[in-house]
Amino acid sequence: MNNMKSVRNNALYIFLLMILVAFLVSTLLRNNQSLPVVDIGRVAQLVNEGRVERITVSGQDLTIEMTDDSVVQSRKEDAGSIFETLRNLGVSEEKLGAGPDQIEIVVKAPSMWVSLAPLLISIVPVLLLAGFFIFLMRQAQGAGNQAFSFGKSKARVFTGDKPTVTFADVAGADESKQELQEVVEFLKEPQKFASLGARIPKGVLLVGPPGTGKTLMAKAISGEAGVPFFSISGSEFVEMFVGVGASRVRDLFEQAKRNSPCIIFIDEIDAVGRQRGAGLGGSHDEREQTLNQILVEMDGFDTDTNVILIAATNRPDILDPALLRPGRFDRQVVMDRPDMKGREQILKVHVRGKPLEPAVDLETIARGTPGFVGADLENLVNEGAILAARRNKRAIGMPELQEAVERVIAGPERRSRIISLKEKEIIAFHEAGHALVRRMLPKCDPVHKISIVSRGMALGYTMALPENDRVLVSKTKFEQDLSAMLGGRMAEQLIFGDVTNGAVDDLDKVTKLARAMVTQYGMSPKMGPMVFGQRHEMIFLGRDIGEQRNYSEQVAREIDKEVDRIVTEAYDRAKDILTRYQDLLRAISKRLMEVETLDAAEFEAFFTGLPGIPPRKLGPADTPGSPSPSRGNAPAPDRPSTTPSPRPAPA
C-alpha cells in the first residue's frame, strides 16, 4: 500500500516537472522569434534588389538572411510554395531560376515544438496553477496525503492475524482481564451467547489513572481474539473544518462493519465525550456534533455485526451521561493501581529479554514501590538498564534498580550543585527533624532513607515507606503525619532560632490536609461529620475553578479555627518530640553532614538501646541502598510520602 502511494506521488511530481519543462521550451521558442519582422511584399522587393542571400522556409514562417549578414523574419499567408508566392509578387525568374543571381531557398519541415508553441503558451499556465493547487491540498492532508479526504477516518488498523500483545503481556490486573475475557469469547464464539439469548456489551469503558495499562489492555483483547483492531485518539476526530468529526466517525464505523468481527478502540474519549451544553460555544460546537454522531453509531449497531467499541479515559466523571447509559457503554472496567503482587508481576513482564544478575529480587523492588503504576515500573526497569550500560555492566543488578527508583521519583543526583556549609547544615537539621518526628510517632510510615544530596529541584529528602499497601487512613495517622511534615521547620527554629523558606511545600500540604480533615473527611469533633463547600468544575476546561460556600460566615470562621487548632497541635507535638530528643537530633544531623545519606538500618542504629523506644523490625526493603518510595509530602492511601528539603529562595 505504501509503495503504491509512493508511485502515485512520484508520478504527480514527474508530470508537473514535464509541464514546467514544456512551458520553458515554448517560452524559449517564443523568445527566438524576436527578430525583425517584415512584410512578404518587402521580402519580394529585397529579393529583386539583390539584397537577399538565403531564405529558409519552415511551414508558413520565413527566415531571410541578408547579404549584409542581418536576419529578418516574415510569413507567407497562402498555402502555395515560396516560389509561387514570390513570382506572384513580381520576383524575376532569374532570381528564382538557374541564373548566377539566384538566391538560395531552403525548405525545412516545421518543428513539433514550433507548432505546439502557441497551444502550450495558452494552456501551460493553467496546468501549472492546477498542479500547484493539488500539491498544496495533498500536503495539507498530512501523512495520508489524500486530497479531499478530510472526512476519512485516521484510525490505525491492526489486522490481528499476527498479534503482538496478548493477556500474557498485561500483568497486575487479573480482575480486569477476567471481565474482558467475555469480550474475547464473544468475538471468537458469538453463537455461544446467541444461543442463550445473551447480548454482548456494545461498549466497554476502561477507567483508571494514567499509566495503568488501559491502552495495553485494549490491544491485548484484540490479540487474544485475533480480529482487526481500529485504534484512534479522541482528539483526532475534531479539526478546524465543520463536520469533519462526524464524518470521520461515520467512516470509522463503516470500515469496522466491513471488517467485522473487529474492535474499535478510542483512546482518551473524554476529548469528544464531555458533557454536552457546557462549552463556551453553546450546544452546537463541533465537538458535540462529533459526540452526537458517536451516540447514533453506537445505537445503530446491528446485533449481528460483531463490532465492539472499547474506550479509555481517566476522567469518567466528565463524560456525558448519554454515553454511559446501558446499550452504549454497558460495562465499565476499572484499571486501578496494582498492589505489591501486581507490581511484581508487572516487573517480571518488563524484565523479559533483559539480562539480570542473580541477586536481583523483584519482590523487594515491588515492596519498595507502592503507588507505582505500570508506566512507572516500565520506566524504572528502563532507567536501570541505562545505568547498567553507563557502568559498562553486562547485566542489570540490584544497585541499578534501586537507584532507578530514586531517579524516577526525585530525578538524578546533582552533586555538582554548590551549597555553602551553613546551608548544608540547615538542610541536615531539616531532614533530621522530619525523620526523628516520624520515627517517634507510631502511626507514621517508617523512615527508609534520609539524604541531603540534591535531586531534581529538591536539595534533600526524607523518604518513608508503608509496610503494607493502604487504602484507608485514620484520623490519628493524619494528625501524626502533619507533625512529621512540620518537623523540618520546627528543627530549624529550635536549633537556629530562625526559619527559612525551605518548608514552603510542607506548609502548603499541611494546610490543605488540615482543611480537608475538617471540610471533607468529617474529622473535626466540633464541626461534626459533615462536608462543607461544593466544588464547581468547568467541564470544558476539565478542572475545578472554585468552591461554592454552602455555609455561613460564622461557620467559615469556625472552620478556620478548627484548621488552626489541628495545625497548632501538630506543630506543638513536633516541638515536644524534638525538644525531648534534641541530642539525638544533633547526632543524626552530624552524621548526615559526614555521609550525606542514611539508609533505614543506619538510621535505626541511633535508637538502639534507648529506653522507652521500642526497636523497629527491618524488612527486606530496609537493607542498605534499598529502593525508596515516591515523592509527595502529604500522606496518601496509595502512595508513600517524601518530605523534600528546603528550596532556594526565589530571586
Element (H, E) at 559: helix 553-580
Which residue in 220, 311, 222, 218 sits closest to 267, CA to CA? Answer: 311
Element (H, E) at 381: helix 374-390
- Going by their DSSP bridges, the two strands 203-207 and 307-313 should be labelled as parallel
Q: Is residue 500 within 8 Å of 646, Cβ to Cβ?
A: yes
- By three-state DSSP, how is residue 257 classified? helix
Q: What is the SS3 assignment for 58-111? A: ECCEEEEEECCCCEEEEECCCCCCHHHHHHHCCCCHHHHCCCCCCCEEEEECCC
- Going by their DSSP bridges, the two strands 597-599 and 447-451 should be labelled as antiparallel
Which residue in 97, 96, 112 sits closest to 59, CA to CA? Answer: 112
Q: Is 212 exposed, middle or buried (0-12, 13-18, 19+ CB in 10 A)?
A: buried
Taking the C-alpha atoms of residue 501 and residue 521, their distance in angstroms, rounded to an integer, is 29
Task: State CA 185 to chain mean position distance.
Answer: 32
Taking the C-alpha atoms of residue 169 and residue 164, their distance in angstroms, rounded to an integer, is 9
Phi and psi dihedrals of 637, rounded to 5? -65, -20
Taking the C-alpha atoms of residue 597 and residue 609, their distance in angstroms, rounded to an integer, is 23
**Angle between helices 475-496 and 421-440 in degrees, nearest 10:** 150
User: CB under 8 Å, gap of 24 or more: what pairs does 561-565 form?
Assistant: 562/518, 562/524, 562/526, 562/527, 563/511, 563/514, 563/515, 563/518
Known catalytic residues are: 431
Strand partners, 319: 274
* Residue the block writes with cell 488498523: 157
Q: Which alpha helices (H) appear in 441-474, and where do they start and end?
A: none
Kindly state the cell numbers that stand for 303. 446485533
Taking the C-alpha atoms of residue 444 and residue 432, their distance in angstroms, rounded to an integer, is 15
- By three-state DSSP, how is residue 280 classified? coil
Kindly state the cell numbers that stand for 513. 490536609
Q: What single-letter DSSP state applies at residue 333?
A: E
Q: Is residue 399 within 8 Å of 444, Cβ to Cβ?
A: no
Measured distance between the N- and C-terminal CA atoms of the chain, rounded to whole angstroms? 58
Phi and psi dihedrals of 332, rounded to 5? -115, 125
Give me the half-sphere count of Cα atoms (radius 13 Å) on the Cβ side of residue 546. Answer: 3
Element (H, E) at 233: strand 229-233
Which residue in 644, 624, 214 sits closest to 409, CA to CA? Answer: 644
Element (H, E) at 311: strand 307-313
Taking the C-alpha atoms of residue 30 and residue 118, their distance in angstroms, rounded to an integer, is 9
Q: Is residue 366 within 8 Å of 468, Cβ to Cβ?
A: no
